[in-house]
Amino acid sequence: MNKVTVLGSLNVDTILRFKRFPKPGETLPLAGKSVAGGGKGANQAIAASRAGAETTFIGKVGQDREGNFMVRQLTDSGVDDQYVQHSNAANTGTAFILLDQSSENRILIDGGTNQQVTPADVDAAKQVIAASDFLVAQFETPLAATIHGFELAHAANCRTILNPAPATTAVPAELLAVTDLIVPNETETETLTGVHVTDEASMVEGAHKLQALGVANVIITVGSKGAFWMRGQEHGFVPAYRVRAVDTTAAGDTFIGALSSVLKPDFSNLAEAVRLSNRASSLAVQKLGAQPSIPTYAEIAAADQVTTD
């Protein structure tokens, strides 16, 4: 069992469902409204824990009902919350997910306390980072905290996984220097490298450019098509499983969380870990809501058994 620490965001998601996105000035009725736990960091931690990893979370919530709700989402899924700080300086992060009938989503985020995570908060978890196989982070919390966390992990021989989302062109060189695996989607790859990802040749080009930035191991996820991986000079493509998508909100986070739970620290099983992560994502997109849709390892294994029988 891997030990995984996730540094990241916690958001309460309000999901608004409708037939189609309204035109400018147009009013349309909702087909449904629901509330669920979310935030890329929390999603990834819950995915890692449900897939079997011993998981700890570093983050911050407000002194409010939403903060208590988000901590409960973590602990109910077996995630250690001892390094989740409670702050009265801001409200817990929130997100509004706009979801049309084709399962396309658009997301609006109020970062709240996620934007108050500091290097000192990371320092408090220094020992658990040192004891972890992987430290995972995204871009929904301040870069200074992520850089510090990755430097601590690097010094302790804990491997680091960076999900560069939301996309940004300004990833500090000092962060990439202590990143062992980077996992962007095709849009984030283009933002980081300038390479428009359309086929495997462009994935190879994008991955080589990411390696040139200092990251030896790369995974590029391409939604319903699957995921491309590169380890040193080795590379391959793992097709996605064909399913009927209901809500794609947590697909990428489920992929990364599941990946961290089964990936070996030397990355020797990268291709197989990607395949299992594709399977986990294929289950997540068949349900509504970010965290309610994330599968357990038993569900992933059962789906694999159905496929292979």
| Phi, psi (deg, nearest 5) at residue 107 | -130, 135
Q: Among this protein's residues, is 123 annotated catalytic? A: no
Q: Is residue 269 marked as binding? A: no
Q: Is residue 287 marked as binding? A: yes
Beta-strand runs (E) in the chain: 3-7, 11-17, 32-38, 54-62, 80-87, 93-99, 105-110, 134-137, 159-162, 181-182, 217-221, 226-231, 234-239
Q: Is residue 13 marked as binding? A: yes
Residue 223 gets which letter from DSSP?
G
Q: Is residue 133 marked as binding? A: no
Q: Is residue 274 marked as binding? A: no
Q: Is residue 252 marked as binding? A: yes
Work out whether strand 105-110 and strand 93-99 pair parallel, antiparallel, or are unpaired. Answer: antiparallel
Q: Report which of 286, 251, 270, 223 is spatially closest to residue 43, judged by C-alpha positions.
A: 251
CA atoms within 13 A on the CB side of 269: 12
CB 107 within 8 A of CB 14: no
- Annotated catalytic residue within 110, 253, 304, 309: 253
How far apart, in Å, are the Cα atoms of 17 and each of 13, 32, 226, 254? Answer: 13, 5, 26, 21
Q: Is residue 126 marked as binding? A: no
Q: Is residue 43 marked as binding? A: yes
Q: Is residue 94 marked as binding? A: no
Q: Is residue 284 marked as binding? A: yes
Active site residues: 253
Instruction: Provide the annotated binding site for substrate.
Output: 11-13, 39-43, 140, 253
Instruction: Provide the annotated binding site.
Output: 11-13, 39-43, 140, 185, 221-226, 247, 249, 252-253, 278, 284, 287, 289, 293
Instruction: Provide the annotated binding site for K(+).
Output: 247, 249, 284, 287, 289, 293
